[in-house]
Structures are given as structure tokens and as C-alpha cells.
A and B are shown apart, each in its own frame.
Chain A
């Protein structure tokens, strides 16, 4: 039931864009995206509910394709502060989240 994330790691230069993907083999109720910096707790980014909606704030947005059980996180014009590990959490029933293994993102000057 663990979602699969790709890529496993990304290195960007400041200002470049990145896409992180999350897919599940099971029907999903929602997808949640979190960012975790080393030694810190995961921090919530956004929730996407089934319906194919796209959400975002500032330069980070995400989409959810309910038919394909896939979600993508879009990071535009990356900043140094975007560095960290990104996790998608998938929810099949409105209860607890199952998290992927994460995508490590490093933004360099």
C-alpha cells in the first residue's frame, strides 16, 4: 500500500524547476505532500482530494489524477529553502496516511 515516489533524488540549481511524482496501485481518497528537513518534523505542504484538482501556493503546486492514482508536485523557480526530502502520503479511506520513501531534493546556489 506504500505509494511509489520518483525520482529518488534530485539536484537543482537555484531557479530551476522540478517535478516529483507519486503513484499508487490502489484507489485513493486523497494525497498529502510534506517536506522534511534533516532532523526536523515533516511539514505539511498541501492536500489534494479526488477530483483531479490542482492546488498550490506561490511557486509550489500539485495535481492529482484520480483515474491514474497519481499525483505530481511541481516546484517552480526553486529556492535554496526548498531543499529537503519530499514525501507523499496517500489515503484510501479518509483515515491514516501511508507515506512513500521520499524524494531528496538539493538546491544549490
Chain B
């Protein structure tokens, strides 16, 4: 296992189209996070899963965004009816939660979305 992988690395879409991104976390990690990052800003939290359960979702997140993690393995993030403001780098990260705490989060290389 070489780390968190995301697919695709780049996506250009027309406004109004739907897009879906995939994240494969480090295999033994039970937590998975989605973040969004725009130029000059820190990663902005979107949502996170522990195993297959979506435990937290940003209150700022539009209803056009939905995420799933079937079977607690890979995750998908879907954006419906994309808008130009959705253009950003979408980062996925994973970590391991144990009874004593949790490990650091490892980030994937991200999917850069451009909405034209």
C-alpha cells in the first residue's frame, strides 16, 4: 500500500454537470476525510467517515454535495449541478482510530476540479 490515492487527478467539467471523485484510503485506516482547498487557503473540512458511517458533515456544505463510503473502504464524493465556485482542489485523507486515540491523517494528491 503506497498511501491515499485519488482519481481522477484533474477534472474539467461544464457548469451544471455532475462529477464524481474517488478516494482509496490506506487499507487499515478506518477514518476517511474529505477537504476542499482553494488557492492561498487552508484545507476546508467537508465531511468524514468512520468505517462506513458518515459522522460529520460541514454545515456550510451545499446539498449538491454528497459522499459515500460503502463497506468502509473507498469513498466517493459527488457534486451535482456544478457551479464555477466549486472549482478547487478536493483532498481526501485517512487515519486510524484506536481505543487510545488516532494516528495522523495522511493526504492524497487531490483531484483538481475546474468548472467552466
Residue pair B107, A42 in contact (C-beta under 8 Å)? yes
CA distance A88 to B107 in the complex (A): 14
Is the CB of A47 closer than 8 A to any CB of chain B?
yes
Residue pair A42, B43 in contact (C-beta under 8 Å)? yes
Is the CB of B1 closer than 8 A to any CB of chain A?
no
Rounded to whole Å, the gap between the CB of A70 and the closest CB of chain B is 17
| Interface 0/1 of B31-51, CB less than 8 Å to A | 001010000111111001000
CA distance A88 to B55 in the complex (A): 22
Residue pair B42, A102 in contact (C-beta under 8 Å)? yes
Interface size on B, as a range, is 20 to 34
Rounded to whole Å, the gap between the CB of A45 and the closest CB of chain B is 9
Query: From residue 78 to 116 of chain B, which have CB atoms closer than 8 A to chain A?
Result: 91, 101-102, 104-110
Given contacts A40-B109, A96-B33, A99-B45, 17 further A-B contacts (CB under 8 A): A32-B104, A41-B107, A41-B108, A42-B107, A44-B106, A89-B105, A95-B55, A95-B56, A96-B45, A97-B33, A97-B43, A99-B42, A100-B42, A101-B40, A101-B42, A102-B40, A102-B41
Spell out A's residues near B (CB within 8 Å). 2, 32, 34, 40-44, 47, 49, 87, 89, 94-102
